[in-house]
Structure formats: structure tokens, C-alpha cells
Amino acid sequence: MDIFGIKALLICALIFIPFEHLLAERPQKIFRKGWAVDLIYVLFNGFILKAVIVMMVAGALGVAAILVPQSITQAVSGQPIWLQVAEIILITDIGVYWAHRAFHKIPALWKFHAIHHGIEELDWLGAFHSHPIDIIVTKAVSLTPVFFLGFSKASIAIFSVIYFWHTMLVHSNVRLRFGPLKWLIASPQFHRWHHANQREAYDKNFAGQLPFLDVMFGTYNVTGDKVPEKYGVDDPVPSTYFGQAGYPLLPRRKRSNRVASSTET
């Protein structure tokens, strides 16, 4: 069993690397700064996440069997697959939005999320560059309602594939515009501005897949075709995997400029 997802990683590389070369938003090397650390994140985070989701599913299903009437779970799982997938996308992205926003607003949580924002050159591989605690909390918030409500295994599997590929797409270094669909489906341009290390981009574009959530809650950043000047954070994030894993647990010498700015507005 490919518990580290190496086969999936190779398939992703074969697809995204050529596209990032042909449709590059900005000139960037394949083996750009930090790619080796991101590779470690892919392998270890993937393993950790699989284990956590298995435990999460077992726990959620056990509690749901006690608290949620069987009539509800049967009604939910009995819907057409396409409708279930659409509902899962909406439910999970509401969870992602608010969990993501909390990671930006609460200084203690930002220390974990700063690891993801520490990426200075965005590409598909950077989608996996997140602290395990960041991933676990976000997945717990966004997926628990899905398991509670009893969505079918097929619909959850289809959603998982869509989410996996879309996450890599929005982090990829490709110049791809979605036109009028930009309000409905998150594009690389939309998420690129979430990663921009510029004051006007701070605390904007929190949604993972559905930008209209940011429109509804007043956090959408309209940028047109502009490209951010730079990515990353001003926080002193270490460059190594283990340094980054332990970084949130270290005492902070000074308050993050990003969190300080967001709490003042």
C-alpha cells in the first residue's frame, strides 16, 4: 500500500510541471527555493493526515449513530451523487473559511499557519506546505459535519478527488483566468493574492473553493490581473522541516506584523 502517496505525487508532477512551464505566471525554476522541504511535507503530512482522518471518521460515525436520527442520514445519503458532492463542497468550504480566518486572527493559531504562508515561490507543490496542526484542525472543522450527516462514501470520494486537484491548482504557478466563474470557483489568481505579502492582501480570500463566501463576509480582495510583488511572511520562520514543525511552540519575541495589522483594523 502506498501510504506516503508517492504514486500520486509522481502523477501530479507529470501534470503540473509542464503546465507551469507553458502557462507560467512568473518565471520560476522547477527546483525553486524550499522544494525539498515541501517534498517532506508531501510525504509525512500525507501519512499523518490519512491516519487522522481514519480516527476522525470512526469517532464521528460513532457519535453520529447516537445523536443523529437515522432518517436524516438515510435522506442525505439517498440524494443524487452530484447533489451530495455540491452540498459537501459548500459545507466543507464554510468550515474551511472560518477555520482559516481564525488561524489568521488568533496569534497563537497564526504561528502554525505562518508556516504555510512562509512559501516565497508558489507552485503546485506548495499546496502541501502546512503545519500538521493546521491541517488537522481545518480538516476536523470542515469534515466532521459531513461525516455526521451521513453523506455516501461515493460522494465523499468524489469530493476528495476534486478538492485534492483544486488545491494544487490554486497554488500553482499558472496564468489562468476563470472569467465570470471567478466568483464561484477559486482560481490561482484568487489564492495567489491570499499569499501576497502586501498590506492590501492581508486577511483576504479565505475560502478554499468558493470565493463568494469572501464576498458575503467582506473579505474578498479584488485584484483584476495584477500579480503580487512578493509572497511569504515577515515572521522569522525557519527554513528546515523540523525547524518549522517546532516553530509554533517556541516563545515569540515580537508580534507578527500581519496579525498585528489584522487585529487593529
pLDDT in tens, 196-229: 999 989 999 999 999 999 999 999 997 777 889 9
Query: Strand pairing partners for 231?
Result: 196
pTM above 0.95, yes or no: no
Q: Is the pLDDT of residue 183 over 70?
A: yes
pLDDT at 50: 75
Distance CA 101, CA 134 (A): 12
Domain ranges of the chain: 33-264
pLDDT at 109: 96
* Backbone Cα Rg of the chain: 19
pLDDT at 255: 55
Lowest mean pLDDT among 70-84, 161-175, 248-262: 248-262
Model confidence at 46, in pLDDT bands (50, 70, 90)? Answer: confident
User: Which pLDDT tens digit goes with each residue over 116-130?
Assistant: 999 999 999 999 999
Sign (positive or negative) of CA dihedral 10, 2, 164, 33: negative
Distance CA 9, CA 46 (A): 10
Average pLDDT along the chain: 89
Q: Residue range 46-64: average pLDDT?
A: 77
The secondary structure of residue 162, as a DSSP letter, is: H
Percent helix, strand and coil across the chain, each to the nearest 5: 65, 0, 35
Spatial neighbors of 241 by CB under 8 A, at least 6 apart, are: 37, 40, 41, 44
Instruction: Name the percent of the chain lying above pLDDT 70.
Output: 93
Q: Residue range 151-179: average pLDDT?
A: 94
pLDDT at 9: 85
Distance CA 119, CA 111 (A): 14
User: Which pLDDT tens digit goes with each residue over 244-265?
Assistant: 999 999 886 555 666 655 555 4
Cβ 222 vs Cβ 256: under 8 Å: no
Other beta carbons less than 10 A from residue 254's beta carbon: 9
